[in-house]
Amino acid sequence: MSDVQRLRHRPGRAGPAIGVGLLLLAAGVFLVWISTTRLLSEAWPRFLQDSRDWLTALTWNGPEMWGAGAAACLLGLILTLAAVVPGAFNALPLNAPGGDPDAPEQPGEREIVMTRRGAARLASARCAAIDGVGSVTATATATRIHLIVETPLHKTSQLRARVVGEVREQLAVAGLEPLPKVTATVRSRS
């Protein structure tokens, strides 16, 4: 057994961070608006009267406060776990040039990977070089690459087979291991 840890890429956390940031921004704007309204008119807005009455009746050791505290702790735990737990592996492993894919990994050996975006760009560039392809867009996951090809040709079945075959060959030459499944949708521009 080797002591080398396998490379693990974390997925981007921008989406959840933006979502939580927007919720906190909305809460801050609401609190500033409520405070400004209270300071200027010396009264709380009418729609808050029922909530204010309910809040003044609460005690610190009441069941409502325990529930609110438990909910806040649970939300904090979920957000902490989302920040700390690594996500799924999102890069495609490559064989080292001249390397044996079945050989055990040696200590200190480096792992070589290609991003999904890089694999999609490689597939797109190879596909664009094929005769009959007008334009191409590619998307990639860890196990699949899908190409959307537009062509001026009317018969697309032969072009689809040629695109899939040549892109698979290019990915194999690049050293992707395991080779992702390549699929193509070919659309005629006519």
Q: Do 98 and 149 lie in a common domain?
A: yes
Q: Do 68 and 150 lie in a common domain?
A: no
**DSSP type of residue 99:** -
**CA 178/CA 144 separation, integer angstroms:** 11
Position 8 scores a pLDDT of: 58
**CA 82/CA 14 separation, integer angstroms:** 12
Position 186 scores a pLDDT of: 92
Position 2 scores a pLDDT of: 47
For the domain that residue 131 is a member of, what is the CATH number?
Answer: 3.30.300.30
Q: Averaged in consecutive runs of 10 residues, what is the pLDDT profile of the chain (190 residues)?
A: 53 76 92 87 80 80 88 89 73 70 59 86 94 92 92 88 94 88 89
Q: How many domains does the chain have?
A: 2
38 SS3 class: helix
Q: Do 79 and 107 lie in a common domain?
A: no
What is the extent of the structural domain holding 57?
Answer: 14-84
What is the full DSSP assignment across 110-138?
Answer: PPEEEEHHHHHHHHHHHHHTSTT--EEEE
Position 158 in a domain: yes
Position 45 in a domain: yes
